[in-house]
Amino acid sequence: MVTTVGTENTLEDLLTDLVKLDYDAADAYRSAIDRLQNPEFRATLALFREDHLRHVDELDGILKTSGKTPPQEGDVKSYLTQGKVVVGGLMGDKAIIQAMKTNEDDTNTAYDRAVAFKAVPQDTHQIFARAQLDERRHRDWMEAALARL
């Protein structure tokens, strides 16, 4: 799936879409964790899931401070991300990690765009930059894990 998150016209829309994307990612991680056989992979993905939930909390805070109501869940894409993991579960850990890497490619793209978004307050930009580093770390780990499988 190729994401459009980060192409919004307003900061509020970007924040809202990032929250939804991180909820979707956390849901996909839950599905992956439930299906992985390797305990190291499960533990690592559980930490990555927590990163996505932290992103939700941080972005929610920005939206609430600006008087906006943050989303409470992902969107329809969550069915797609979970679906890739469910199918991957039929083929083992490698397929699950490959599916999750595809999801991480999208979150990397979204946060790369968020960091480059115009007219973002400094504190918000710092949150975007930390999340971008998380996403890069997730994807790098997945690439290394796939190389070992």
Supply the range of the domain harboring residue 61: 20-148
| Predicted model pTM | 0.90
Segment among 72-86, 93-107, 128-142 with least mean pLDDT: 72-86
Q: How confident is the model at residue 76 (pLDDT cuts 50, 70, 90)?
A: low
Residues 6+ apart with CB under 8 A from 23: 52, 56, 71, 73, 74, 78
State the Cα–Cα distance between residues 81 and 70, nearest whole angstrom.
Answer: 21
Record the tokens describing residue 7, joined without a space.
Answer: 């192409």
> Per the domain annotation, does 10 fall within a domain?
no
* CATH code of 75's domain: 1.20.1260.10
Q: What is the pLDDT of residue 14?
A: 95
Asked if residue 1 is part of any domain, the answer here is: no
Please choose, from the candidates 105, 129, 131, 124, the residue with its C-alpha nearest in 3D space to the C-alpha of residue 50.
131
Number of domains comprising the chain: 1
Pick the more confident residue, 15 or 74.
Answer: 15
∠ CA 88-92-95 to the nearest 5 degrees?
45
